[in-house]
Structure 1
Amino acid sequence: MSENATFLAEDDATARKIIIRVHRPDYHCREEIESELAWIRDIRATTEVDTPAPLPTTTGSPVLSIIAGGLTLQVVAFEHAAGAEPDIGDSLPEWFERLGAVTATLHAHSRRWQLPEGFVRKRWNLETMISAKGLWGDWRDAPGMTVSEVHTINEAIPYIKSEIALYGIAPHRYGLVHADLRLTNLLVSQEGMSIIDFDDCGFCWYAYDFAAAISFHETDPSVPQLREAWLKGYRSVAEFSVAEEAMLDTFIMMRRILLCAWLATHQESKEGKTLSDGFSRETAEMARHYMTQRGHQVREGHDPVDQSREGQQDNQLQHNNMRMA
């Protein structure tokens, strides 16, 4: 039980295993789920990314509706994939290098893929992520969040908004992403790495996928090493610009605030039961460090927003091109 309820089913006659996912009510509509599965199918058909196949049903639709406890629930199924979630440890940088390469492959696919008619997925932006009306709830409601912590995190949000405004949403920076490539959604084994759970895929900044990858581990001492490994893997497949790299701390801060909202509305999850104590305090400490770092860079004349001004120029160029067209 996390965002959804997930079950392992096995056929006694054939020993075949499948994964059944029962969607949390009132989050995704049927069209959104069908769109997620359409992207997975095309990724499997046109890239080397290893991700389990959605399974068809006898109805012809990949999505079933069931009635349980008076609720209508959407259900899908996937092939079972072997492997286990990697642990924070000595071998994780190696897996993060592979994850960086996989992420670059997904982004390249997203940029070239012609979305099918009727494709619908959520948009991850400042309003849907860290506002009081965010898709995962209000981060201020995180378990144990104090008035002082709310104040500190609130102070960091204008810095985030400033950098996002200058970075922009040009198509090469903002598009369809997995948005939740954290450790629990990686299955590693001697055969390699599989990625699972596209349930949160939607339109967001491509560089945000790194922030999602270190979810719940943002303060771990290994993060700088994981970042370098991820960047090395990504750049082995595609370009990751200096401006994108300069934005990683901002996306990490956004993700961390978003996770506060998630914990507030998912207290029955494993993370909700084990991470609530001290999570908001650490988030406030991260916000304080983020603002201090930002202020230091401005004083030293190395404003990370300056690195993002090309995003503003890209947006203006795109706007001009649209007007000319």
Structure 2
Amino acid sequence: MSVPSESQTLLNDRLTRLARDSLRLWPFGSAPTAELISHSECAIFLVDDSGRKAILRIGRPGYNSANAIRSELAWLVALHAESGVTTPEPIRGRDGNYVQTACGQGLAGSRDMVLFTFLDGSHLDETGNLCTPFRRLGEVTARLHNHSENWVRPPRFERLVWSVENILGGKCALWGDWRQPVGGDMPSLGVLERAAKVIRKRLMLFGKSAKRWGLIHADLRLANLLAYGNDTRVIDFDDCGLGWYLHDLGAALSFIEDRADKDELIDSWLQGYTRHREVSALERAEIPTFVMLRRMQLLAWIGSHPGTDLAREQRPRFVEVSCKLAEAYLAAGAIAA
């Protein structure tokens, strides 16, 4: 694990102070505690109230509006009630609202916060053979997608839109410009630009029919699953939004796209997924495109989140490996739409 920078440590300290000061907004006892357990798009805290646990999420300003967060929570509540997929449930504050807002000393602007129920379970093993975990991941992903396709969204529903433009669109993209970490490396920029051009062309032809595009988790990888006996539980919905369903397969391979057994993992994911939902031959043909799209999205994330542990760990070889993946994508015949 890399050592956080001084500025990241200061930010974490300020967010921790805000978390502890804000616990009064919920009906806890007299001395609840809050401990920072992760900080990426959001800051996540484990809350302990005399042995009763909960998860507090503090959002990043400008990423999701309060209405977008309420929309996310509406889907979570519906998923929990209607799909059979276990998800964290939001907990209302003392004022009856799920979303609480507060300002913290030394923090720019206000922060939107949500408290969730704590889910028991363990993360799936990511160190050995991943075929069985990927089948499990594919199966629960299909159940989410089936619910998404049939769910009637409430009025004023608002979430992020994971379109090509919002992923590859440079400075206007939701996670920033994928070119930023590449810098002035012209050969690398060239191969990645060619890959981006092919991705745009293929997905324009692929289209956004109701069977292919809908409400997705958008970060559905093993790190966001909890196993509890035979139950597969899904956490971390803060990136959820409208996108291609196959984007969730690309997300499943986040940071491991260069594994030698990648094709076996994709097959395992599809085995689990197709127990509940069909994948057409045309959709299967675009899986490499969605894997490459996600990789370029992560390239942007690495550039726009330099202070996070994950970005510091991944950055040294991320551009180099991304270029190799792009070259393989193009060489495999992806140019022919």
CA distance in 1, matches of 2:190, 2:257: 20
Change (3 A) 1:145 1:284: farther
Q: Is the 8 A contact 1:144 1:278 kept in 2?
A: no
Q: Is the 8 A contact 2:182 2:189 kept in 1?
A: no
Partner of 1:21: 57
Change (3 A) 1:145 1:282: farther
- Tell me, yes or no, if structure 1 residue 73 matches structure 2 residue 111: yes
Q: CA deviation at 1:89?
A: 3.8
CA distance in 1, matches of 2:182, 2:43: 22
* Alignment deviations for residues 43-101 of structure 1 (CA, whole Å, 9 cap, x no partner): 00001112111111111110000111342000001111123333434452112111111
Q: Is the 8 A contact 1:83 1:188 kept in 2?
A: yes
Match of 2:327 among 268, 281, 288: 288
SS at match of 2:315: coil
Q: CA deviation at 1:215?
A: 0.5
Q: Is the 8 A contact 1:136 1:265 kept in 2?
A: yes
**Aligned runs of 1:241-320 on 2, under 5 Å?**
241-294=280-333, 305=337
**Aligned runs of 1:163-174 on 2, under 5 Å?**
163-174=202-213
Q: Which segments of 5 or more consecutive residues in structure 2 lack a partner in the other structure?
A: 1-38
SS at match of 1:181: coil
Q: CA deviation at 1:224?
A: 1.3
Please tell me the residue identity of whatever aligns with 2:146. Answer: A
Q: Is the 8 A contact 1:181 1:209 kept in 2?
A: yes
Match of 1:3 among 26, 32, 41: 41
Change (3 A) 1:63 1:208: same
SS at match of 2:242: strand
Match of 2:122 among 84, 93, 100: 84
Change (3 A) 1:169 1:278: same
Q: CA deviation at 1:145?
A: 6.9
* Alignment deviations for residues 99-152 of structure 1 (CA, whole Å, 9 cap, x no partner): 111111111111111110010011111110011121100001126772221111
Partner of 2:66: 30
Match of 1:43 among 73, 79, 90: 79
Partner of 2:227: 188
CA distance in 2, matches of 1:145, 1:219: 24
CA distance in 1, matches of 2:198, 2:93: 48
SS at match of 2:204: helix
Q: Is the 8 A contact 1:145 1:281 kept in 2?
A: no
Match of 2:94 among 34, 58, 65: 58
Partner of 2:271: 232
Q: Is the 8 A contact 2:221 2:253 kept in 1?
A: yes
Please tell me the residue identity of whatever aligns with 1:113. Answer: W
Partner of 1:153: 192
Q: Is the 8 A contact 1:173 1:207 kept in 2?
A: yes
- Tell me: higher relative CO, structure 1 or 2? Use CA pairs within 8 A at least 6 residues apart: 1
Partner of 1:311: none
SS at match of 1:139: coil
* Alignment deviations for residues 170-225 of structure 1 (CA, whole Å, 9 cap, x no partner): 11111111110022211234453211011111110011110001111111122211
SS at match of 1:286: helix
Change (3 A) 1:195 1:91: farther
Please tell me the residue identity of whatever aligns with 1:274. Answer: E
- Compute the TM-score of the two structures, normalised by the length of structure 1: 0.87
- Tell me, yes or no, if structure 1 residue 205 matches structure 2 residue 244: yes
When the two chains are superposed, the root-mean-square deviation of aligned CA atoms in Å is: 1.5
Q: Which segments of 5 or more consecutive residues in structure 1 lack a partner in the other structure?
A: 306-325
Q: Is the 8 A contact 1:145 1:280 kept in 2?
A: no
CA distance in 2, matches of 1:47, 1:190: 18
